[in-house]
Structure 1
Amino acid sequence: MPVIRDISLSLDYDEAMLRRQGLGEPSKVRPEIKKVITELLAEVGKGGLLEPAVAYEYYPITAIDADRISLEGGKAIEGPLLPATFPEAKELIVLIGTIGPKLEKQVTEYTKGGGALRGMVLDGIGTAAVDRLIPQALELIAAEVASRGYEISSPVNPGMPGFPMTEQWNLLELAPAKEIGVSLSSSGVLIPRKSTSMVIGIGPKMTRWTQAEVCGRCSLKGSCLYKVIS
């Protein structure tokens, strides 16, 4: 059950960072907001608020049905999205990623102390950090599977159409989430909140897609402030 902790995250004042603040183009951001973002980016870099880690596990596929993929060891992942997305996959990877609890605790301190703006901006920085963490982890995994002549797909996440949120519980059993301090609340929310879970297909030739394509298929694309536009 592999765990990766030595992942360096580079966080910059750029369009991706601003999108996670619900803001638009850098040129349109008010100077006072830009100042807060810049200050907090420096604080994150110096204050050790990020503890990025990923935990994952490989599972050979034993059967693909219309609404589930069965895995070695009598396990399965439910939902029609996976069979439709990974019809040629030989294995699945279940992956959990997190930036740890420290940034989240600082957000709470700011909010309770009357610094609602700083708390909101720092929360957006944390989301952007998770966005940066996953591509780096996938790059490392892609190198692992390449030695077997395999490729990785882009990830799918619980909550996507055809992949029920209730499978979150299943994914945390399939991957060593506890080793990186990730758990689920009674309502199914990941703890720490700046965490994510996903499934990745592995095979000789796997399909990849961009975040813009994912956003383009989302039912909230018309109103979402955080969407990626191709």
Structure 2
Amino acid sequence: MMEIPLDPGRLESGLARRATIAVPTSGRPAVRRRLSALADDLDRAIRPRATIRLVPATMVGRDTLRLGDADSLEGTSVHRFAGADRLAVVFASLGDGIAERAARSAERGEMVEAALFDQIGSRAVWQLGQRLLAAIRLAAHRAGSRAGGPLFPGDPGLPLAAQPILARLGDPGGAGVEVCGGGLLMPLKSLSMVVAIGPGVRRWARIANCRECRFHDRCRKPAETRKVCR
């Protein structure tokens, strides 16, 4: 039976420090020193938690993936899961520390610092997702299988309506995550994703999802996405 061990220390180590590298800001030494201090503060505040559950999966047609006995995922990107016999359902969170620090900075009128906390937190939760994806891929490889790329509810072709389904199949509570109305996750620096596993699964880069979005040509993020998506 395939298992996906999670090392809390490996998940946590240097998340904010690594995320800070991607924050666009002035190259002035004083600014970089301040940003470095913020990263150190956030690394002490971040307490990542994550859960991964494996669910039996079967493709039905092109755009439907049957999960277990009763649930299914539907969407125009679900065809990427062709060849899957299992689906890894992931929930993860950085905890409330980032939001609390951003709120305190805003109360003091330090709006730039509050915005930086928010930006670092957004990139840190992305880094956490990448580490979890790496753990899934390593476990699949050791089991003689393959893991594809991630899909996130709200991605092109996987609607936010999938979020309650993932909540039933996964363990959001174990990751300190609450699924609220409309598919919103709390705390805000949280994520959910699904990764297909099976001997015939093909990998893809996250940028492929962006290219399928009808807003891709007008989006301000594609250049940034190309730097961080693998």
Cα distance in structure 2, aligned partners of 1:168 and 1:148? 28
Identify the match of residue 17 of structure 1 among 20, 39, 46. 20
Identity of aligned residues (%): 24
Residue 64 of structure 1 is matched in structure 2 by 60
| TM-score normalised by length of structure 2 | 0.83
Are 1:209 and 2:213 an aligned pair? no
Closer, same or farther: CA 13–176 of 1 in aligned 2, 3 Å: closer
Are 1:120 and 2:120 an aligned pair? no
Residue 50 of structure 1 is matched in structure 2 by 46
- Counterpart contact for 1:215–1:221, Cα < 8 Å: no
Cα displacement (A) at 1:215: 4.0
Residue 140 of structure 1 is matched in structure 2 by 135
Structure 2 residue runs of 5 or longer lacking an equivalent are none
Cα distance in structure 2, aligned partners of 1:160 and 1:64? 21
Identify the match of residue 8 of structure 1 among 8, 12, 15. 12
* RMSD, aligned CA: 2.6
1:1-230 paired onto structure 2 within 5 Å = 4=6, 6=8, 7-11=11-15, 17=20, 19=22, 21=23, 23=24, 29-31=27-29, 33-45=31-43, 48-82=44-78, 84-218=79-213, 219-220=215-216, 222-225=218-221, 227-229=224-226
Q: Give 3-state SS (helix, strand or coil) of 2:140's partner.
A: helix
Cα distance in structure 1, aligned partners of 2:138 and 2:219? 37
Q: Give 3-state SS (helix, strand or coil) of 1:120's partner.
A: helix
| TM-score normalised by length of structure 1 | 0.83
Residues 33-42 or 97-106, more deviating: 33-42
Cα displacement (A) at 1:61: 1.6
Higher relative helix content: 2
Cα displacement (A) at 1:223: 3.9
